[in-house]
Structure 1
Amino acid sequence: MRTTLHLAGVPSSLAEFAATHRRAIADALLAIAILSFTVPATLLQLSFSLWGPIPDWIEVLVEVITVGTLLIRRRTALPMIIASVVCAVVTGQIVPMAFAAYSMTAENKVRHWQAVSIPLIAAATAVDYVDPGTDNFLYLCLVRALTLIYLPALIGTWVRGYRGMIFELRAGMRERERLAACRERRKIARELHDTVTHAVTVMVLNAGIIHDNADPEVDRLATTIEDKGVEALGELRDLLTVLRREDEPRAAAGARAIPRLVEEAAATGTQVSLRYDLPDIGLPTQVGHACYRVVQEGLSNVRKHAPGSRVHVVCETEDGVVTVSVVNGRDTGRARLSLQRLLPTSGYGLAGLEERITLLHGRLERGATSDGGFTLTARIPCRPGNARSSGDLAGEVADEVAGGERP
């Protein structure tokens, strides 16, 4: 998980970099702190060795190697433990051992950390005992060694336990959210099956009755209603499958179905023109289906709110961005019947369409035109490798909502 930082006065790119490389930055700052503590003591002749005088360059080299092992402490703690003991014996610096003791328990890299702490405490006691700047009381040296080694190791166990608890809480929260979403999807599926599917089925059956007992003109209209009703039942069946299995509908219409959608709109009396310039292959399923839904929603809104207007549909791609727009002019008032008086307005069509486009990292624009019409435009990035399944997109959203990182 990548947690986004919101810091006043800090550019978003810098905040994102800090969040992404949080552990690496912490290790680098810790390495600088240890070098700032050990190297000046060596250069100022304040260090000492259990084996007598040692050249400064050897001491500095040992300190740098010790800091280098600090950078791999999250993968393995043994190199840092050995290097910190050598650093303490050669330079008299026991601070790296305190960090080694903390890391071996906080990162859970040593199974029997109590046993490993014994040689560290012994080395710290010996170095403190021979330090010319301290007293020569052995029990005080042992107490200080226990404080500097065992206490950080104990704190590391507490930190590890806290991280594990946070991870379990976040995992439980994600699981509860998943189960709640699953229950909600099943509830919606039941409602769709019990209400909408039933109503559409009755409509198809009635259209079939009219089809068998009507004149040619009414027969043609009844056939159209029957065909669209059967198509709607198929889409509802796919939608119910999606809600219950969280999969993408296998019969989901893509961009290649847009010309057929425009032809159907023209057959119902809508004055519509199409400029289609999208590739037949290479367009991700999610993007193609979103393009189809944009045109479908735009034409549906025109039939509801401006049935007498002229509509222009444009589908094109440029510089890795797919642009789909549905633009209608001002309603001429020549339509015989406005569906706006017959069909209820839900207000959810454009909102749902915007959510669909946002999941694809695109942008939906809508608004009035200068001539009193309306425009609906979607711009969706579509570069090679951008094709992702609906499960991947849902996983991204869930990660953003749940947050968290396994320790």
Structure 2
Amino acid sequence: MSTTGAHVPDDGAGGPSRPGWWWWTRRRGFALDAALAAVSAVESAFEGATFAQKTGIATSAGALFGLLVGAVLLLRRRWPVAVVLVGIAVSPAQMGFALSLVGLYTLAASDVPRRITAALATMNGAGTMLVAFLNFEDSLRHPDSGRAASLPLVFIMSALVALGLTAPPVLLGLYVRARRRLVESLRERADGLERELELLAEKALERAERARSDERTRIAREMHDVVAHRVSLMVVHAAALKAVALKDPSKASASAELLGDMGRQALTELRQMLGVLRTVPEAAAAAVAALPAAGGGRPGSGPGAEYAPGPAPAYGPESGDGDEGPCLAQLAELVEESAAAGMGVELAVEGESRPCGPRIEATVYRVVQEALTNVHKHAAGAKAKVLLAYREAEVAVLVTNGPSDGSAPAALPSGGHGLVGMRERVSAHGGGFAAGPTTEGGFRVSAMIPLPG
């Protein structure tokens, strides 16, 4: 049997109800109350007729009054206090037994303050005790009983009857009320945890999207650095080869051989990058499988179960340690490649050469590589200088070139992402980057990267 208070109706399942017909939200609640009211009305009608015969009132009037009193139980969910008061009022007429029991239970299980419940239960118990006392005393004093009236015995028996008819429904109602509040508290806590899990899943998805965006940017930057420089040099050599093919066959042969070497180097670096990219899905799948499933231990549950955010894997030569990426010792070869393509370029080193870490060295190498590529693209015939400086707490590089000599540059496409990529690389290490034209009509690129420790 599920009951509610005067202000918070119940849905029959122990939780707050939805708006329904009057104060019933389910048909079974209405059917239960109607059945209880019918039983109480029949009982009260019989007891009312009996009381009317003892007092000389018309039996039909007593039965009708009892019928109306018992039917009050239909209002127990809406007005439990009124139902209990009616039960207390008719207790001297010795009617409303079921009405009092169900009314006390409903009152104790409702949201009515406990002090009101205690006061009404005490009043009901006192009324029941008084009626029982009078009945017992009258029975013991009856001439046909053959027993003498014992006032203490009558008092004790009356108290036990009052306690037996009052305490059980009140205690049961209080238990149901406490259990219902506990269930509601657990439901609210579960809803709160579910909301927190949803927020965590949304944040995980946001982090995953950011990680994917960062990786796309990193892949694009690596592809640009690895392919653009080699292809740019190949285009320059192809143009030179076309110019000298008929005039100087030996020089054309050397240029063709150099062109082939550059193409093979570009393919080798491209294969290395693609190999790294192929290993990423397997590593990511293993990382996801190693993480505990969200959503109460159910694998794959929750919006964030498909992706586990973590440290983003590094792609390209810059990501590795040891020999996986270019180093500063290879700058001389890089400068020689540009010189072989017809650029007047020189390399100068200041300070004592020392290891700076594979990632920092790869970043400096890529900055010089992109700067020389830009000279090939935009300043054909210009002279360039590369200055590498080892300082106490940082490593710096400066690439400058003079104005173009007026010769037509090779038709090299430009996506406009070279300077952006250099700035991103340097900023990732907490360094500073600057690029812009010089007063002599050339261009300069400078970068400074602090050394760890």
- Compute the TM-score of the two structures, normalised by the length of structure 1: 0.46
Higher relative contact order (CA 8 A, sep 6+): 1
Q: Which has the larger radius of gyration?
A: 2
